[in-house]
Structure 1
């Protein structure tokens, strides 16, 4: 019996052993939590953020992380603690320093969650600076006019298809009322534009007026999970492992995101097998400048997601603010219609150069992007070895620092006391004052801060100019032809943030445009 008791401990011994292990684990967790809190204890933030990620999780799942970080920066200052190892800043000068070309800062674990294809990194998710720089250099020419001479003509064609959709189905008259979810239709347009630009193969969302392959629905359903994974990056690595990969979208799927993985592979494969793999579009440019088949597949997929969702957000958000601001709407409509009647803009579609000569249009586009930046994830970077001093606070190496884009774009010190208000005139006023030394500094500061909407330095958005060309053309062609009215101003739409924005139910009445104001 004695030998048996030694070999096989009694129940009380197992209980004691388990209790001991539990106490050791509890002590370890407690010590780790206290050490983590102590490390950044000098940096202010909402209660409890030094001990857990609950504040981040709650606001992320609520779809309002962009507003929560903006409010936190206003309450606690330009550098705020959001989690045990997470900070956020709204200081434009700091953000430019963190994102500069020669900055020693690297992308943080946040980016593990935005590997759209679990098998490989894309330009956004890639955290190795050397590889990122090399890939970016190969892709940059594809976003410029030299390698894509038909860029404007391709956009023009898609915009006219969109106009045709409105003409066929959504014009309201005195006898017919045809409300339309403008948020969804605009995304059909941006999807067709980016697919036509990327690989000369449009999907036909606008013509068919439907969510082909349920791509939009499934993508919108999956984005909140992606943001959840950005808070717990280790989970993203688990899901992307070979064991769990079957749970993620696959090229074998007939609908949703997986369908686009399959389409990207097919398009790249067909192009490489063709007689003209380097034709003058984005995909041809990528291949001509050395992208491998796998890289081209990944970046084509990235273009569809990043190029369509963000531009759609800029279009529908700015349209909502215009419809909610009668004076701004009327001024822009009059500028466009007067230019059309005087022959200063081309028909049937304005050129980018002509649109850039319309000052109020440019002010509206800047203001729309400023008041609601299309990308609003924190996009954390990691403090390099040796630590740093940020906003006057010493910050140890390894700390993750994110961006409050909404906070930066509504700084009263940059944009004036009414920075929370959609008022395009602020850009014209700054331009008029720019002749004085003080006014010039103000305009420069506004533009430098606004440019952060597209990030900066080594991570600046390659599609910036393409997006601005599209915005120029679409706003002119819509307001040249039509007038837009909100169906329900008290609840104009549904909008949540999941890194990018998920927006729907922007129900609008579209009527034919009236004459320009004399």
Structure 2
């Protein structure tokens, strides 16, 4: 086994760079890095199969206890039977135009005012046909509104208002940073309300509690709203779901916990990914041109004034899909290793024996940069690697939605949303970075988040 190093994951959580720090240690020490006395990070490609794969008996670790809110959900439960039960009913559950047009025509959308009007330095760089926006902020508005519509019957209204009207986006960020830090030492969770000496813990706990209240309110509003009876959103399926054990409806707390999971999993993740897509394409104009050539061929002019790419017409666009896969490889939304516990009797992992109870994780950030898998251009943004049959041998190493029996249950919904939104935005608009010479401001809580991304947008010929 390679040399090991005990790394303070809790401290790194506070510094918002767990994935990068663990990656640096793997580059120096090899495939095995000790994170704590009983926890190791395993970067060997076979670790994906050995740790996350089917049939090995490994369970999620106590790391996930930090993410419990209301009660355990399909994401956080560590009990295999409970996860199977929840998956049975949750699995059945599964417009950018207006905001962009208003910004281009009026320089304002809701409360949001064009950056060029607010920041003199940006205004000096702005062309007449441009609008200047923070793409990270607007794509978060869009993702929250979409999941509000998909899950709860109506958008949250962030795009219309041009603002984070209930601080839900900020609360989700703060909650993620708190969870990822507390998850390194789960036993401190019950004590965090009393950590007045460190406001990070108290503030994060309050954010988690406030986010739960937003989810509960959305469920209650949906239950009492006059919704088209033919509408089948995610909450429709949760409300109609039968408890696999009793045959009755889901207990109220369980229903709300699962609804909150859908809100969290379907909003920040998608908004972050779309922001990274915009950033990567602006930094690789040759890839952007190739994408727009594919979209122009798929959706020729003239476009309808209310054009939104139909999923049936963009789901099989090869280069569009390659852009999403490659962005999720290099800017994986959840880049930290997701820990699993070695089952009773111990197990062989990547040629090494680990005793039962050892916590092992696969560092997504590192595996997605491994030249043994991706070749000598592993650090390059090359969507072509996912086009055609070339993608098949790579998919078993792709951890954009985790892997194995606990992989993301909403993968199909996420890809539908990403493909439709990316195809619509890049067919209708041009994007360029306000400050292309400046590296993106990326901060890691539980999600790898681009904090701000000032861009100029302009309308393409339709």
TM tier relative to shorter chain: 0.7 to 0.9
2:258 to 271, 276, 299: 299
Native 8 Å contact 1:59 1:65 kept in 2: yes
- Confirm or deny: 8 A CA contact 1:414 1:445 kept in the other structure: no
The residue that corresponds to 1:503 in the other structure is 450
Is structure 2 residue 77 aligned with structure 1 residue 139?
no
**1:214-225 mapped onto 2 (5 Å cutoff):** 214-225=167-178
> Which of 278, 281, 298 is the matching residue for 2:233?
281
2:411 aligned residue: 464
Q: 1:169 aligns with which of 104, 107, 111?
A: 107
1:100 matched to 2:37? The reply is: no
Distance 2:156 2:92 in 1: 24
Cα distance, 1:219 vs structure 2: 3.0
Distance 1:350 1:332, change over 3 A: same
Q: 1:475: Cα distance to partner?
A: 1.2
Deviation per residue, 1:296-343 (Å, 9 max, x gap): 111111222121111111111111111001111111122212332268
> What is aligned with 2:441?
494
Structure 1 gap segments, 5+ residues each: 1-41, 144-157, 435-441
Shift of 1:411: 1.9
Partner of 2:24: 71
CA distance in 2, matches of 1:186, 1:399: 39
Alignment of 1:194-343 (within 5 A): 194-239=147-192, 257-272=208-223, 280-290=232-242, 291-341=250-300
SS of aligned partner of 1:179: strand
Gap change, CA 1:508 and 1:174, over 3 Å in 2: closer
Equivalences for residues 46-195 of structure 1 within 5 A: 46=5, 49=6, 53-54=7-8, 56-115=9-68, 117=69, 119-143=70-94, 158-167=95-104, 168-169=106-107, 174-175=127-128, 178-195=131-148
| Kept after mapping to 1: 8 A contact 2:131/2:458 | no
Q: Which residue of 1 aligns with 2:120?
A: none
Aligned to 2:348: 389
2:295 and 2:305 mapped to 1: Cα distance? 11
Corresponding residue SS for 1:421: coil
Match of residue 418, structure 1, among 377, 382, 386: 377
Q: TM-score normalised to the size of structure 2? A: 0.85
Mapped to 2, the partners of 1:359 and 1:369 lie a distance apart of 15
Which residue is equivalent to 2:198?
none
Alpha-carbon separation, structure 2, partners of 1:456 and 1:165: 41
**Structure (1 or 2) with the larger CA radius of gyration:** 1
Which protein has greater RCO, CA pairs closer than 8 Å, 6+ apart? 2
Q: Deviation of residue 380 (structure 1)?
A: 0.8
Cα distance change, pair 103–249 in 1 and its aligned pair in 2 (3 A): same
Asked whether the equivalents of residues 10 and 182 of structure 2 are also in contact (C-alpha less than 8 Å), the reply is no
Contact map agreement 2:402 2:408 (CA 8 A) in 1: yes
TM-score, structure 1 as length reference: 0.77
Asked if structure 2 preserves the Cα contact closer than 8 Å seen for 1:345 and 1:354, the reply is no
Decide whether aligned partners of structure 1 residues 249 and 228 sit closer, same or farther in structure 2, where only a CA change above 3 A counts. Answer: closer
When residues 94 and 272 of structure 1 are mapped into structure 2, their CA distance, relative to the original with a 3 A threshold, is same
* 8 Å CA contact retained: 1:367, 1:423: yes
Residue 357, structure 1, aligned to residue 308, structure 2: no
How many Å separate the matches in 2 of 1:345 and 1:95? 45
Aligned length: 432
Provide Cα deviations, 1:145-167, integer angstroms capped at 9, x if missing partner: xxxxxxxxxxxxx3334444544
> Contact (CA 8 Å) 1:493, 1:507: kept in 2 or not?
no
Gaps of 5+ in 2: 109-113, 117-125, 195-200, 243-249
What SS is found at the alignment partner of 2:128?
Answer: coil
Name the stretch that deviates more: 188-197 or 354-363.
Answer: 354-363
Q: Quickly say closer, same or farther: Cα 1:475–1:363, change in 2 above 3 A.
A: same
Q: Check whether the contact 1:269–1:293 (CA below 8 A) recurs between aligned residues.
A: no
SS of equivalent residue, structure 2 residue 437: coil
Structure 1 Cα separation of the partners of residues 429 and 359 of structure 2:
47
RMSD: 2.8
How far residue 43 of structure 1 moved from its aligned partner, in angstroms, is 5.3
Higher helix share goes to which structure? Answer: 1
The verdict on how the C-alpha distance between 1:362 and 1:345 changes in structure 2, with shifts beyond 3 A counting, is farther
**Are 2:298 and 2:313, in contact at CA under 8 Å, matched by a contact in 1?**
no
